[in-house]
Structure 1
Amino acid sequence: MQRRTVIAPDSFKGTASAAEVAAAIRRGWLRARPGDECVEVPMADGGEGTTAAIAGSVPGARVVSVRVEGPLGAPVDAELVELPDGTWVVELAETSGIALLDGVDRESCARASTIGLGQAIRFAAEHGARRVLVGLGSSASTDGGAGMLSALGVRFLDAAGADIPLGNRGLHSLESVDISGLVRLPADGLVALTDVVNPLFGVAGAAAVFGPQKGASVDDVPLLEAGLTRLAQVLDGAPEASGDVLALAAHPGAGAAGGTGFGLLAVGAEVSAGAVAVAEAVGLRELLRGADLVITGEGSFDAQSEAGKVPSLVRRLALEEGARFGVIAGRVGLGAEERAVLARDGVSIVSLSELAGSGRRAMDETLDWVEVAGERMAGTLEF
């Protein structure tokens, strides 16, 4: 009997895109069950790979290349996606991501900015965007989104009325903000896509949690925090500010991407769980109707996979449609008891590291082992 299988994985960060993973699972599955229908739906959680996943899953999506300033000012070519309904998708990793740097240190951490992200958003707005989805993640900066806002027409001034330098280092000399030049934003607004709920400040904030990943030393973290604090205080006191801007610092997701979530909130954006927004954009729920099995995947499947990640969302939607559910992961960080519970719930899990015999081999030959995993899952599941 022919079965309908929907394949909706996230990317395997650093080794394979979501589209590559989906295609490899399909190849393996069809080797074991050549008569089945397989539907590929690359997914993302709002971080790296979001534009590619949406472009590959939405019919009529158009990829637009835009040159912007990278995190340290060098020009980079970023890919934006225009959808048929007037929604545009912009990904911070493409414009201001840490992967765009040759390496990170204290200097790059202090200087990096999100100006390129703002330039990309502005491009979309000026080319008729009705709404802009902004994927947050893999950022190089801790500027609270100030660079992004400056590209959108907000001026950040020092005591002499001059524009402050870009990056967190410039925030320490911030004295006033002029919001009057803010460009007209899309009619249906901006939506920040993120899988983190960190606030802007504190032990769980942007500086403390993510600063060290960007080159900050232990002594640098309080300086980054001070810059973000100054930004929030001055924005809150701006004559043109609407509402309690300072309170936005505590909003879940305000600390995403070095505080870029806060910068977006300050201009009226909403924050959405990235996987949920991507699922809506690609029409995942509709594609799952009538599916016998839904397969997802990610580089590491562990307890964190239940915290707003792609696998948790795909599993929930699969259960709602009455479909079986399977996971293919580079590594599985669950104990025997946790895996047994999932098995009793009918969840099939295949680990590439276990198939390959080592994590290194699985990473070096990721797509080959993903294909093997797809074939293995197809051959062992009973419908």
Structure 2
Amino acid sequence: MKIIIAPDSFKGSLSAVHAAEAIDKGIKRSYPAAETILIPVADGGEGTTETLVSATKGKIKTIKVVGPLGNEVTASYGILGDGQTCVIEMAAASGLDLVSAETLSPLETTTYGTGQLIKQALDDGYRTFILGIGGSATNDGGAGMLQALGLKILNHKGKEIGFGGAELHHVDHIDLDSLDSRIQDCTFIIASDVQNPLIGPNGASYVFGPQKGATPDEVELLDENLTHWANEVARVTGIYLHDKKGAGAAGGIGGAFQAFFPAETRRGIDVVLEYSKLGSYLQNADLIITGEGQVDYQTASGKTPLGVAQAAQRQNVPTIIIAGSVGSGVDVLYDQGVVSIHSMINQPMALEQAMIQAAELLELAAEQVVRTYFHPLKGGHVLEY
């Protein structure tokens, strides 16, 4: 019996690596003879660096950068096992988890630290990049990142604009010649599932601004400022980000990559699955188990369990999902190779308790799922009836 274990993180409680280990323990309690292969995965958001570094036997480099509110934070980037590919999570330097609920303010938050991570990787000699841009706390159109990479973004007095989405309306001049020239010698893969344009009712500010702390009035102001930013970008590059698909990702940093970088945007889970070589491990597999903290209608938009199930379906391997909670709208997943979806919660409990006990609950759920799925087996052998 060959079982692939490929979960995402269970946000706030288990990393993808620890989730895979818990599922493995549950399987081995049912069938010690089972061959299990652990391939923790992610969809471009939190955990992308860890999972890719783990899958490719790479390494991590940690530096000090400017955090989303201008304070110093510690952030890391990964070097994959090929020794050539650098993977950076925007959230590591500019993420929501670095800002308390009381200080959330997309008018002030900056992507400068993300630019510092890229610059350090350039200084270290890397030219192939994977950028995961999920989980941002920012709405600055990527201006901070570009400033960290040398781009001069000036106001009408010829001074550099400050940090945050509130500053974008001051942009009067963008000096393209000042941007780090090494960028044009690089390859950037942007791992993102967001298709929203930069501005308007479906843009970065209106759709994602509120979850980053913006009030209705601030959302309107941020959208106006991004419009001004897009106008200035178009004036110097000829690229109109206003309605461009994906430009609104991560507070507009998706647009910055489209306008200033030799970049290709791809679905996050597809990038991770390619580099983790999941497809090769699926050959002759009997089952794949995936999961994440919440599975609901949004999962079908390209989150980890869907991507894993689609990859498995192409090789006729059934998929089982184990989640912290199961919401509405999951029926569409059954057409993508998913045979069943299970919650790991086995009794009434508070969310806090479930998060504390996540590893134990996931292990128990995996044991029961595998016992049920392989009920004719014992110790890896078919029972005689």
1:370 maps to which residue?
362
Cα shift at 1:104: 4.4
- Residues 329, 96 of structure 1: alpha-carbon distance in 2 compared, 3 angstrom cutoff: same
In the alignment, the residues of structure 1 paired with residue 90 and residue 179 of structure 2 have an alpha-carbon distance, to the nearest angstrom, of: 20
Q: Is the 8 A contact 1:129 1:186 kept in 2?
A: no
1:275 maps to which residue?
269
In the alignment, the residues of structure 1 paired with residue 338 and residue 178 of structure 2 have an alpha-carbon distance, to the nearest angstrom, of: 56
**SS of equivalent residue, structure 2 residue 49:** helix
1:125 maps to which residue?
122
2:92 maps to which residue?
94
- Residues 75, 294 of structure 1: alpha-carbon distance in 2 compared, 3 angstrom cutoff: same
Of 236, 246, 250, which residue of structure 1 is paired with 2:243? 250
1:152 maps to which residue?
149
Matched, 1:259 2:267: no
| Matched AA of 1:251 | K
1:357 maps to which residue?
348
Alignment deviations for residues 153-196 of structure 1 (CA, whole Å, 9 cap, x no partner): 11110111111111111111111101111111163421211122
Q: Is the 8 A contact 1:105 1:214 kept in 2?
A: no
In the alignment, the residues of structure 1 paired with residue 24 and residue 337 of structure 2 have an alpha-carbon distance, to the nearest angstrom, of: 24
Of 206, 210, 217, which residue of structure 2 is paired with 1:219? 217
- Residues 249, 84 of structure 1: alpha-carbon distance in 2 compared, 3 angstrom cutoff: farther
1:170 maps to which residue?
167
Q: TM-score, normalised by structure 2?
A: 0.92
| Matched AA of 1:235 | V
In the alignment, the residues of structure 2 paired with residue 359 and residue 334 of structure 1 have an alpha-carbon distance, to the nearest angstrom, of: 20
In the alignment, the residues of structure 2 paired with residue 332 and residue 10 of structure 1 have an alpha-carbon distance, to the nearest angstrom, of: 15
What are the residue-to-residue correspondences of 1:1-12 with 2, within 5 Å? 3-12=1-10
Alignment deviations for residues 266-321 of structure 1 (CA, whole Å, 9 cap, x no partner): 11322111111111111111121221101100111112111111111110111111
In the alignment, the residues of structure 1 paired with residue 169 and residue 348 of structure 2 have an alpha-carbon distance, to the nearest angstrom, of: 51
In the alignment, the residues of structure 1 paired with residue 40 and residue 323 of structure 2 have an alpha-carbon distance, to the nearest angstrom, of: 15
In the alignment, the residues of structure 2 paired with residue 278 and residue 262 of structure 1 have an alpha-carbon distance, to the nearest angstrom, of: 22
Cα shift at 1:95: 0.4
**SS of equivalent residue, structure 1 residue 137:** coil
| Matched AA of 2:368 | R
Matched, 1:309 2:307: no
In the alignment, the residues of structure 1 paired with residue 307 and residue 69 of structure 2 have an alpha-carbon distance, to the nearest angstrom, of: 35
Q: Is the 8 A contact 2:53 2:81 kept in 1?
A: no
Of 50, 70, 77, which residue of structure 1 is paired with 2:74? 77
Alignment deviations for residues 187-221 of structure 1 (CA, whole Å, 9 cap, x no partner): 34212111221111111111001111111111111
**SS of equivalent residue, structure 1 residue 328:** strand
What are the residue-to-residue correspondences of 1:184-203 with 2, within 5 Å? 184-185=182-183, 187-203=185-201
2:229 maps to which residue?
231
For structure 1, the 5+ residue unaligned runs are none
- Residues 186, 379 of structure 1: alpha-carbon distance in 2 compared, 3 angstrom cutoff: farther
Cα shift at 1:56: 1.5
**SS of equivalent residue, structure 2 residue 101:** coil
Residues 183-192 or 364-373, more deviating: 183-192
In the alignment, the residues of structure 1 paired with residue 354 and residue 143 of structure 2 have an alpha-carbon distance, to the nearest angstrom, of: 40
Q: Is the 8 A contact 1:110 1:167 kept in 2?
A: yes
Cα shift at 1:359: 5.5
- Residues 343, 114 of structure 1: alpha-carbon distance in 2 compared, 3 angstrom cutoff: closer
In the alignment, the residues of structure 1 paired with residue 338 and residue 179 of structure 2 have an alpha-carbon distance, to the nearest angstrom, of: 52
In the alignment, the residues of structure 2 paired with residue 262 and residue 249 of structure 1 have an alpha-carbon distance, to the nearest angstrom, of: 9
In the alignment, the residues of structure 2 paired with residue 21 and residue 313 of structure 1 have an alpha-carbon distance, to the nearest angstrom, of: 17
Q: Is the 8 A contact 1:153 1:179 kept in 2?
A: no
Q: Is the 8 A contact 2:153 2:174 kept in 1?
A: yes
1:63 maps to which residue?
60
In the alignment, the residues of structure 2 paired with residue 186 and residue 295 of structure 1 have an alpha-carbon distance, to the nearest angstrom, of: 40
What are the residue-to-residue correspondences of 1:44-59 with 2, within 5 Å? 44-59=42-57
In the alignment, the residues of structure 1 paired with residue 235 and residue 35 of structure 2 have an alpha-carbon distance, to the nearest angstrom, of: 58
- Residues 160, 186 of structure 1: alpha-carbon distance in 2 compared, 3 angstrom cutoff: closer
2:382 maps to which residue?
none
For structure 2, the 5+ residue unaligned runs are 377-385
Cα shift at 1:344: 12
In the alignment, the residues of structure 1 paired with residue 208 and residue 272 of structure 2 have an alpha-carbon distance, to the nearest angstrom, of: 24
2:339 maps to which residue?
347
| Matched AA of 1:357 | P
Structure 1 vs Structure 2 CA RMSD: 1.9
In the alignment, the residues of structure 1 paired with residue 232 and residue 336 of structure 2 have an alpha-carbon distance, to the nearest angstrom, of: 54
Q: Is the 8 A contact 1:199 1:205 kept in 2?
A: yes
In the alignment, the residues of structure 2 paired with residue 227 and residue 104 of structure 1 have an alpha-carbon distance, to the nearest angstrom, of: 23
Cα shift at 1:345: 6.5
| Matched AA of 2:291 | G
How many pairs align? 371
In the alignment, the residues of structure 2 paired with residue 47 and residue 314 of structure 1 have an alpha-carbon distance, to the nearest angstrom, of: 16
In the alignment, the residues of structure 2 paired with residue 56 and residue 124 of structure 1 have an alpha-carbon distance, to the nearest angstrom, of: 19
Cα shift at 1:253: 1.9
Cα shift at 1:102: 2.6
